[in-house]
Amino acid sequence: MAPNPYLLAADNPQALLSLLREDPSIATRQDEHGYSLVHAAASYNHLDLLRSLVREFKVPIDLKDEDGETALFVVETVEAARVLVEELGLDAGIRNAEGQTAREKIEGDEEWPAVAEYLKTLEAGSSGTNGTENDDLSATTGLPPPPEGLRVTMGTMDEAEVGEQLPDPEFRRRIEELAAREDFNTPEGQAELRRLVEEAISGQGLSEERNVRSRQD
């Protein structure tokens, strides 16, 4: 009788990894309720298994169960939540079928308060009373939003200053060239996009390049 991968995910993650390497198709399976091995690994705090499922076996980190809930909804430790969000790029703002985020559901269940508090800090860090968030910045500049995990605020610039600095024609040219590349959605392409955005926001990289070109001309 074949071993149950969900039981292995709970009790013997190393045995599950061996099973997955024999039959990688198991990695993306979900049971009749949509529960996945990613959910199980996150729930039981088996973080190396969780990383392997996503990185080695290419399981989508945002798999949802029948209630529209990702693995973030079932974590019991801050460490597991941090791996999901900060390492593996899971969007903490995803809502379930009832319209709740993971933080809202965990708070409502009155379980794992440390996890709820951690997720609350992520929400606080993604917005501010004096800042412009990524979506607003994209609307202002007409450019794609920064890559996932990079949050941009503009709390010390008035509208005139924004108009003077963004969108920068050289930045627009470079980011459009990058977006046209085949590797744009790969980790390497996203890393390059992150670098370009950071340069634009710092106001350093592009101006330095233009100065170099002027001296060469």
Single out the residue in 125, 144, 164 at which a domain terminates: 125
- Greater confidence (133 vs 201) lies with 201
Domain carrying residue 28: 5-125
What is the reported pTM? 0.59
List, for residues 3-15, the tens digit of each pLDDT value.
899 999 999 999 9
Q: Are residues 114 and 14 in the same domain?
A: yes
Burial group, residue 133, by CB count within 10 angstroms (0-12, 13-18, 19+): middle
pLDDT beyond 50 at 128: no
Ranking 75-84, 104-113, 126-135, 168-177 by mean pLDDT, the lowest is: 126-135
Q: Are residues 20 and 88 in the same domain?
A: yes
Residue 60's CATH number:
1.25.40.20
Q: Are residues 101 and 207 in the same domain?
A: no
Total number of domains in the chain: 2
Single out the residue in 60, 95, 125 at which a domain terminates: 125
Q: Are residues 39 and 138 in the same domain?
A: no
Single out the residue in 90, 125, 160 at which a domain terminates: 125
What is the distance between the alpha carbons of residues 88 and 91, in angstroms, rounded to a whole number?
Answer: 9
Give the model's pLDDT for residue 207: 44
- Greater confidence (1 vs 103) lies with 103
Q: Are residues 150 and 61 in the same domain?
A: no
Q: Residues 177, 143: contact at Cβ < 8 Å?
A: no
Mean pLDDT of the chain, nearest integer: 79
